[in-house]
Chains A and B, each alone.
Chain A
Amino acid sequence: MSDLFHQQSPIVQIKLTEPKANQPLIREIPFQGFLNLRGRPNNPDFMTAVKKVLGCSLPIEANTVVVSGDYKIYWLGPDEWLVITPTEQQRKVQSELISALGVIFSSVVDNSSGVTIINITGDNAANLIARDCPLDLHSTVFKAGQCAQTRLAKSGAMIAPLLDGSGFELIIRRSFADYLLLWMQDALIEFEA
């Protein structure tokens, strides 16, 4: 779709640099489809309808992630999930969910421009985040398949270990993205030497 060309990332004013010395690598994965999905997990109709569209059951264990083909589904709360799709599939998934759910008590809301993904990889990925995040990021405690919404600096983030163990995926709000990236770039200085 040609209109994709007009998109601008929330961190358009940030220049990401190549890591020096022990600095972790910070990269944005821009322009994904983000759907905020709400419904009652104890309603089998809701769970079935969603499964039909996404191809997997919604994660009902708190703070876990389920991957289904191109889709990733994050637990946000006991009746709330974040569905991440490739950009071009967001509309399709959204309308399929809405029509599959019909009158079932639920909500499917596009938030694709509301958040973005920042991947932090490398030896000091956890140390960079831990500069101002109260979550225990240790690999024995926080493992691939888990996710957590938490405080990051003076904002917040959804944090999940990357499946390959190379670092972390952060999902951050658009309006705070510029601040958080400035914070991260400043934090990188510690690992410069």
Chain B
Amino acid sequence: MSQSFRIAQGGRIDRDNQLKFSFNGKTYTGQAGDTLASALLANGIHMVGRSWKYHRPRGILSAGAEEPNAIFQLEKGEKTIPNARATQVELYDDLDASSVNCWPSLDFDLLSINSKVSRMLPAGFYYKTFMWPKSMWMKYEHIIRKASGLGKSPEVNDSDRYEHSHRHCDVLIAGGGVAGLTAALAAGRAGARVILVDEQSEFGGMALSSYDKIDGQPVSDWIQAAVAELQELPEVMLLPRSTAYGYHDYNFLTINQRLTDHLALNNRKGGREKLWHIRAHQVVLATGAMERPLVHSNNDRPGIMLASAVSTYVNRYAVKPGERAVIFTNNDSAYQTALDLNAAGAQVVAVVDARSQSSSELANMVRSAGIEVMNSCAVVDTSGGKRLQSVQVMSLSSDGQSVSGQRRTLSCDLLAVSGGWSPVVHLSSQSGAKAVWNEEAAMFIPGEPVQQQASVGSANGTLELKLSLIEAANAGNAAAKACGFDSNMKAPQSDAVISDPIMPLWLVPSDKEKGREPKAFIDLQNDVGSADIELAAREGFHSVEHVKRYTAMGFGTDQGKTGNINGMGILAKTLNQTIAETGTTTYRPNYTPVTFGSMAGQNLGSRLFDPARKTAMHGWHEENGAEFEDVGQWKRPWYYPKAGETIHDAVNRECLATRNSVGILDASTLGKIEIKGKDSAQFLEMMYTNNWMKLPVGMARYGFMLGEDGMVMDDGVTIRLAEDHFYMHTTSGGAAGVLSSMERWLQTEWPEMEVFLTSVTDHWATAAVVGPNSRKVVSAICEGIDFSAEAFPFMASRVGKIGELECRINRISFSGELAYEVNLPANYGRFMWEKLMEAGAKYDITPYGTETMHVLRAEKGYVIVGQDTDGSITVDDLGMSWAVSKTKVDFLGKRSLTRPDTARTDRKQLVGLLTEEPDSVLPEGAQLVNDPGAATPVPMVGHVSSSYYSACCGHSIAMALVKDGRRRMGETVYAPLADGRVLKATITQPLFYDKEGAKSNV
């Protein structure tokens, strides 16, 4: 194998299982158990991309979720993944990765000229330069996006499947390191329902990279035993490869589990990711801590890595990230990295420690190993191109504010840095707890919990293993107890380690003149340097949130996990205030990026994106070639084209057939509500604008419902079935809203009223049989009803039988024709429909859809609530004041009808429009003006609400809402269209067909 930086022994990789992968077109090998990052390092590859603004070479910095540089595009086509963090990508056979931010290639980058002119690209550069003139931004943006940007959006549909699941638990533990495992054991042993979530493939967290001991055994053995025990507990669920990325109200967490990303493409089966929605009684956050880089000149070269990441690569992945290493630190933990590198056979040139002394056991072990420790020193600069070649070290003053003496050059290919640790407070902060600055430990730690939640271990700022285990056991016990379980697990034991305190160092001083020093980077992903923060402060940005947005610090896929804290430190110093006063930016979901696929799950496509509600006759409509229209969530037949027919042909045919003989419409979607109780009529008096007390049993009435603002909310026909029993129809789209509105009045305002409401929308199938021959068709299949005009008048309702089935027939018309609505329970809907089709065959009964329904009703000037009204239209605006009682003391919305604006006589009113060209159909929504030649902005006087070609009239017809329209009969308005045409139309009454109403009166 050519993995020349692979250490001969140790690590958690599978040495027998070699994998091939390609990076930027070249093939390499790695081992099972590697991440893409560790495999690249095993092959000696540090430089993995270029920075987005200056196009400087950048290398792998970290070994985890915080990675700002090693961001790759994986795979191609339907499997492509933009912006994958190589540090978290498990290596699989034939993995294909490429750098995202270099063009035309990683080694030769045309845009690296930006690096040479970096002084011309300060913070806010893009805004300052390109936002003016504003009209040019779109053009600039196109070029900038190509030159910067991260991964490429997929150009084909994602072929993967994404799962969703909801769970409830007693205790959710985020983070499966030793603290999380301990908390899980405590709660799990007590019998609590526990979910343990960890983003890595193996539980154990940072401890997988260490040689610590717990309960006297190597930590890896302890982890293995703990995981084995948890797996056996029936109420414990372990979620590896899962990121708890959102912590919402009331302990609701969103977790993304990666199910197949670690497998070779051809071995993947089932869903790619699973989004868990978890509601927990108690949450324990054991999310660990992240190491911070140090900010000095040229701190961004490939070969500069976080010290703990170096230890992880050495210990966990058996990879040597360098042969000659310098350690630069301000705290104790990096000394372990020196020992780890030394043990792996790398040369550790020196430990450069900003602190004036380091005398802990760990530091002394480093000295004993013969490694030079340089106290009161700092790395002030580095050199190298695509790989680090040396670092320059100078003496650092005890306050960390200045450097002095000679530059000493240390030749090295690896600089392992540690600026201390930042607890991963993201989830705690998302939960509402404000992060608190701890001056002594120089870190933000979780604030007082505001939900049922506790943070433990290094996530809580408790970096020492022994104390971390105690904290975790206590939290696990407490969480289980809070859920009613008896839990008293003792904490696992570990040896105490005494460390020397950290010396905060946010910006390493330079020996160069202020303003002439090379760039020192804070945010590697967004190329934000220390000077940018200082500039932002000078330009008046003092709030950390403003500085973030001005400099772009903390943007991007890594959200500033490594760099933000240094930026805040520098901002605090620039503003001459404490970090506590400066504060931190807000942590919001998502912790790491989440795929759109995961969010969407299977709610995709025409079948599952939104429910399609279907009537009992849906299958018949499909079999008979109907085109469907969405009405709310309902699928309604739109029209039934015959071979070769356009929609217009079909609608013209359906209209004429209905007017001349008989048509049939599936009207099942209308809302239907049974209203029962002695106060029902009184209740309807309040709900509707007209009178209901005297409606005879067996008769129906049309009514308008208003909102309390006086505007039309819904309309429909309601039948009186008995003195205390009504049957209400609502619009198809308004059914749910009307029912809950009526329930609301009854439950909250008039609880003394004896009225019960029951929705029966789904129970009844309804066919409207319409046209001069409708009586013959309906009476042919329905027994027990006298269909004569005298016995069964317009607006009457009768019960009869179809075969042995009880049916209800309502003589209602939404077309101006003689018409009957036939109702049977929906299980018999198709049976009923086919019976009617059979009976109507000799009259050439014609099924018609919503389009014909619209034409027929518009010919008669009947309105559709929601089309001819829009929430700002009153009954009077519709010209239907006859439907509003003048005598009733009260009904909903009545008082609003006399408000000055509602009572105005020049409101927009419903009128008809006839176009000058009879065949021109005005587009619905078209705005109307009096004078299209007037100076802009041309005053708009109204709009077209309904417009069709009427085959029965032989010309187009339209309804419109026109200002003061009723007084403008015969006047002309114009509709200027988007295509430049201007249609001329005459205002008429909104009634175009059978103006005397003779056709329904038969």
Q: Is B a genuine binding partner of A? A: yes
Q: Which residues of A contact B (CB under 8 A)?
A: 1-3, 6-10, 12-13, 31, 36, 38-39, 79, 105-107, 109-115, 127, 130-136, 138, 141, 153-155, 173-176, 178-180, 182-183, 186-187, 189-190, 192-193
Question: For the complex, is B612 an interface residue (Cβ under 8 Å from A)?
Answer: yes
* Complex Cα spacing A134 to B252, Å: 11
Question: For the complex, is B453 an interface residue (Cβ under 8 Å from A)?
Answer: no
For A111, the chain B residues whose CB sits under 8 A away are 758, 760, 762-763
Shortest beta-carbon distance, B171 to chain A, in Å?
14
- Beyond A13-B619, A178-B612, A179-B611, whether A8 also contacts B829 by CB under 8 A is yes
30 contacts between A and B (CB under 8 A): A1-B804, A3-B803, A6-B831, A8-B828, A8-B830, A10-B616, A10-B826, A13-B618, A13-B619, A38-B756, A105-B754, A106-B756, A109-B760, A112-B825, A113-B762, A113-B827, A114-B759, A114-B761, A131-B163, A135-B166, A136-B168, A138-B168, A138-B193, A155-B611, A173-B762, A174-B763, A175-B634, A178-B614, A178-B618, A189-B161
Q: Tell me the B616-632 residues at the A interface (CB within 8 Å).
A: 616, 618-619
- Beyond A6-B828, A131-B163, whether A12 also contacts B634 by CB under 8 A is no
Assess the A115–B762 pair: CB atoms within 8 A: yes
For B764, the chain A residues whose CB sits under 8 A away are 113
Q: Tell me the B877-923 residues at the A interface (CB within 8 Å).
A: none
- Determine which residue in A7, A141, A154, A173 has the highest number of CB atoms from chain B within 10 A of its CB, and name it: A7
Number of A-B pairs, beta carbon distance below 8 Å: 144
Assess the B762–A174 pair: CB atoms within 8 A: yes
For B826, the chain A residues whose CB sits under 8 A away are 10, 113-114, 174
- Determine which residue in B167, B269, B616 has the highest number of CB atoms from chain A within 10 A of its CB, and name it: B616
* Complex Cα spacing A192 to B826, Å: 34
Question: For the complex, is B602 an interface residue (Cβ under 8 Å from A)?
Answer: yes
User: A-facing mask of B345-368, CB < 8 A → 1, else 0?
Assistant: 000000000000000000000000
Residue of A nearest to B758 (CB): A109
For A134, the chain B residues whose CB sits under 8 A away are 166, 277, 279
* Complex Cα spacing A187 to B277, Å: 16
Shortest beta-carbon distance, B612 to chain A, in Å?
6
Assess the A187–B602 pair: CB atoms within 8 A: yes
Shortest beta-carbon distance, B376 to chain A, in Å?
59
For A113, the chain B residues whose CB sits under 8 A away are 616, 762-765, 825-829
For B166, the chain A residues whose CB sits under 8 A away are 130-135
Assess the B603–A175 pair: CB atoms within 8 A: no
For B193, the chain A residues whose CB sits under 8 A away are 138
Question: For the complex, is B607 an interface residue (Cβ under 8 Å from A)?
Answer: yes
Assess the B677–A190 pair: CB atoms within 8 A: no
For B857, the chain A residues whose CB sits under 8 A away are none
* Complex Cα spacing A192 to B163, Å: 13
Assess the B615–A112 pair: CB atoms within 8 A: no
- Which 9 A-B pairs give the minimum distances between C-beta atoms? A114-B763, A113-B825, A114-B762, A107-B676, A6-B831, A107-B756, A179-B611, A136-B168, A113-B826
Assess the B165–A130 pair: CB atoms within 8 A: yes
Question: For the complex, is B146 an interface residue (Cβ under 8 Å from A)?
Answer: no
For B601, the chain A residues whose CB sits under 8 A away are 132
Question: For the complex, is B678 an interface residue (Cβ under 8 Å from A)?
Answer: yes
For A132, the chain B residues whose CB sits under 8 A away are 164, 166, 601
- Determine which residue in A2, A6, A112 has the highest number of CB atoms from chain B within 10 A of its CB, and name it: A6
* Complex Cα spacing A31 to B827, Å: 8
Question: For the complex, is B610 an interface residue (Cβ under 8 Å from A)?
Answer: yes
- Given A13-B614, A106-B676, 5 other A-B residues pairs in contact with their CB atoms under 8 A: A110-B825, A113-B762, A131-B164, A138-B168, A175-B613
Question: For the complex, is B805 an interface residue (Cβ under 8 Å from A)?
Answer: yes
Assess the B804–A2 pair: CB atoms within 8 A: yes
Assess the A105–B825 pair: CB atoms within 8 A: no
Residue of A nearest to B615 (CB): A175
* Complex Cα spacing A9 to B618, Å: 12
Assess the A112–B271 pair: CB atoms within 8 A: no
Residue of B nearest to A179 (CB): B611
Task: Please tell me which one of the listed residues B619, B677, B829 contacts residue A107 in the complex, with CB atoms under 8 A apart.
Answer: B677
Q: Tell me the B146-189 residues at the A interface (CB within 8 Å).
A: 161, 163-168
Assess the A8–B831 pair: CB atoms within 8 A: yes
Assess the B608–A183 pair: CB atoms within 8 A: yes
Task: Please tell me which one of the listed residues A3, A8, A130, A182 contacts residue B167 in the complex, with CB atoms under 8 A apart.
Answer: A130
For B827, the chain A residues whose CB sits under 8 A away are 7-10, 31, 112-113
Shortest beta-carbon distance, A183 to chain B, in Å?
6
Question: For the complex, is B448 an interface residue (Cβ under 8 Å from A)?
Answer: no
For A192, the chain B residues whose CB sits under 8 A away are 270
* Complex Cα spacing A31 to B350, Å: 82
* Complex Cα spacing A162 to B519, Å: 68
* Complex Cα spacing A178 to B635, Å: 12
Assess the A110–B756 pair: CB atoms within 8 A: no
* Complex Cα spacing A179 to B825, Å: 20
* Complex Cα spacing A38 to B611, Å: 29
- Beyond A127-B165, A176-B613, A182-B608, whether A114 also contacts B760 by CB under 8 A is yes
* Complex Cα spacing A183 to B604, Å: 10
Question: For the complex, is B323 an interface residue (Cβ under 8 Å from A)?
Answer: no
- Beyond A109-B674, A189-B161, whether A12 also contacts B619 by CB under 8 A is yes
Residue of A nearest to B193 (CB): A138
Shortest beta-carbon distance, A93 to chain B, in Å?
16
User: A-facing mask of B513-531, CB < 8 A → 1, else 0?
Assistant: 0000000000000000000
Assess the B678–A179 pair: CB atoms within 8 A: no
Residue of B nearest to A173 (CB): B762
Assess the A186–B762 pair: CB atoms within 8 A: no
Assess the B271–A190 pair: CB atoms within 8 A: yes
Assess the B613–A179 pair: CB atoms within 8 A: yes
User: A-facing mask of B776-808, CB < 8 A → 1, else 0?
Assistant: 000000000000000000000000000111000
For B271, the chain A residues whose CB sits under 8 A away are 190
* Complex Cα spacing A150 to B2, Å: 59
For B676, the chain A residues whose CB sits under 8 A away are 38, 106-107, 109
Assess the A110–B763 pair: CB atoms within 8 A: yes
Residue of A nearest to B276 (CB): A130
- Determine which residue in B619, B758, B827 has the highest number of CB atoms from chain A within 10 A of its CB, and name it: B827
Task: Please tell me which one of the listed residues B167, B277, B678, B762 contacts residue A105 in the complex, with CB atoms under 8 A apart.
Answer: B678
For B678, the chain A residues whose CB sits under 8 A away are 105
* Complex Cα spacing A36 to B739, Å: 15
For A107, the chain B residues whose CB sits under 8 A away are 674, 676-677, 756, 758
* Complex Cα spacing A9 to B762, Å: 12
Shortest beta-carbon distance, B367 to chain A, in Å?
57
Assess the A3–B804 pair: CB atoms within 8 A: yes
For B674, the chain A residues whose CB sits under 8 A away are 107, 109
For A79, the chain B residues whose CB sits under 8 A away are 756
For B619, the chain A residues whose CB sits under 8 A away are 12-13
Assess the A8–B763 pair: CB atoms within 8 A: no
Shortest beta-carbon distance, A159 to chain B, in Å?
13
For A183, the chain B residues whose CB sits under 8 A away are 602, 608
Residue of A nearest to B806 (CB): A91
For B763, the chain A residues whose CB sits under 8 A away are 110-114, 174
Shortest beta-carbon distance, A109 to chain B, in Å?
4
* Complex Cα spacing A192 to B271, Å: 11
Task: Please tell me which one of the listed residues A36, A175, A176, A193 contacts residue B270 in the complex, with CB atoms under 8 A apart.
Answer: A193
* Complex Cα spacing A174 to B765, Å: 11
Shortest beta-carbon distance, B20 to chain A, in Å?
27
For A10, the chain B residues whose CB sits under 8 A away are 616, 826-827
For B611, the chain A residues whose CB sits under 8 A away are 153-155, 176, 179-180
* Complex Cα spacing A150 to B224, Å: 41
* Complex Cα spacing A173 to B611, Å: 12
* Complex Cα spacing A1 to B825, Å: 15
Assess the A131–B762 pair: CB atoms within 8 A: no
- Determine which residue in B193, B270, B614, B761 has the highest number of CB atoms from chain A within 10 A of its CB, and name it: B614
For A179, the chain B residues whose CB sits under 8 A away are 607-608, 611-614
